[in-house]
């Protein structure tokens, strides 16, 4: 690929806004097949807002604990609590950057994907948005949110914010789970706690674009 083509590719990827990337992600889920793109954009925006707010809460709690002089400061907003982190390779092949499993609570970081993302950030001139080492931090923060949502009660708040109705019987209204919204919240959380200029979804798009020609072979 010539430098000019690469630059155009990078500019094209960066030209799409973060909410649109979120809507596109939701649109790839077969569960949302046929949904109005405007609704998907709305959900993407709400989920991003929720994730950012979650990051604010986590930072405040962490700062509070640190100021109180606790011996061991709990609730690291990037890494979460008591989660084991293991590193492995094979992420590029599987299309994964990181993975959280609840039994036992573990975050698996795919170092080959993280390195590839860092290389792309450098090649595309996105260092201002994604400082060196931020991909790893974002991956850890992203998975930490899944751990937090898995154990915590914040899911209900996200559901409330999304406001999608599963069933309405007179005055009774049952709110629906929106598949994929937690994933977008996790990206927004990672963006916020790691101080990234753009959503990690841009990295996903760049990695997918760089992997596409290899898949076509």
Partner 1 sequence: MGIVILIIMAAGVAAMLTKKLPTAFALVLLGVVIAFVAGAPLTGENSVFDTVLQEGAPMLAATMIAILLGSWLGKLLDETGIAGTLVRKIVEFGGDRPTVVALGVLAVSTLIGTVTGSAPAAMLAGIIGIPAMIAVGIPKVTAAGTILMGIAAGMPFELPIWQFFSSALELPVPEVRGFMIKLFPFALFAAVMFVLVESRRRGVEHAWAFRTETPRTKAGKRRARLGDAPWYALLTPVVPLVLALGFDIAIIPSLLAGVVYALVTTTRPRDMNRRLLRTLYGGFEVAAAPITLFVAIGILLAAVKLPGAVDALAPLVKAVSPQNPVLFVVVFTVLVPLCLYRGPLNVYGLGAGIAGVLIAAGIYPAVAVLGITASYNQVFGVADPTSTQTVWSAQYAGVGPQQVMARTLPYVWFVALGGFCVTAATAL
Q: How far is the CB of 77 from partner 1 (least distance, A)?
A: 17
- Please count the CA atoms within 13 angstroms of the CA of 126 that sit on its side-chain side: 29
> Which lies closer to partner 1 via its Cβ, residue 75 or residue 182?
182
Q: How far is the CB of 7 from partner 1 (least distance, A)?
A: 21
> Which lies closer to partner 1 via its Cβ, residue 113 or residue 134?
113
> Which lies closer to partner 1 via its Cβ, residue 52 or residue 106?
106
Q: How far is the CB of 213 from partner 1 (least distance, A)?
A: 13
Strands 172-175 and 165-169 come out as: antiparallel
Q: How far is CA 179 from the centre of its chain?
A: 14
Q: How far is the CB of 206 from partner 1 (least distance, A)?
A: 8
> Which lies closer to partner 1 via its Cβ, residue 194 or residue 205?
205
- Written as six digits, the tokens of 132 are 């060196």
Query: Element (H or E) spanning 178, and its range?
Result: none
Q: How far is the CB of 62 from partner 1 (least distance, A)?
A: 22
Residues of this chain that interact with partner 1 (CB under 8 A) are 25, 28-31, 33-34, 94-103, 113, 139, 142-143, 146, 150, 155-156, 159, 164, 166-167, 174, 176-180, 182-183, 186, 200, 203-205, 207-208, 211
> Which lies closer to partner 1 via its Cβ, residue 52 or residue 96?
96
**Beta-carbon count within 10 A of 137 CB:** 19
Q: Of the candidates 105, 89, 91, which has an alpha carbon nearest to the alpha carbon of residue 146?
A: 105
DSSP 8-state class, residue 179 = T
| Cα gap 148→150, rounded to integer Å | 5
């Amino acid at each position: 690929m010539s430098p000019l083509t690469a630059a155009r590719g990078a500019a094209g990827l960066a030209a799409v806004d973060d909410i649109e990337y979120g809507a596109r992600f939701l649109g790839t889920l077969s569960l949302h097949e046929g949904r109005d793109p405007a609704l998907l954009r709305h959900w993407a925006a709400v989920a991003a807002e929720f994730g950012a707010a979650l990051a604010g809460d986590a930072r405040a709690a962490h700062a509070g604990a640190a100021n109180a002089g606790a011996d061991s400061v709990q609730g690291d907003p990037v890494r979460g609590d008591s989660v084991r982190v293991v590193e492995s390779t094979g992420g590029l092949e599987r299309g994964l950057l990181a993975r959280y499993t609840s039994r036992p609570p573990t975050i698996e970081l795919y170092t080959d994907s993280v390195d590839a993302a860092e290389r792309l950030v450098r090649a595309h001139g996105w260092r201002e948005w994604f400082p060196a080492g931020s991909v790893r931090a974002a991956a850890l923060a992203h998975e930490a949110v899944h751990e937090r949502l898995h154990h915590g009660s914040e899911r209900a708040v996200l559901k409330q914010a999304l406001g999608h109705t599963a069933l309405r019987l007179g005055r009774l209204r049952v709110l629906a789970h929106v598949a994929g919204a937690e994933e977008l919240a996790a990206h927004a959380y990672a963006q916020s706690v790691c101080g990234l200029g753009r959503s990690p979804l841009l990295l996903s798009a760049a990695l997918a674009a760089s992997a596409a020609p290899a898949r076509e072979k």
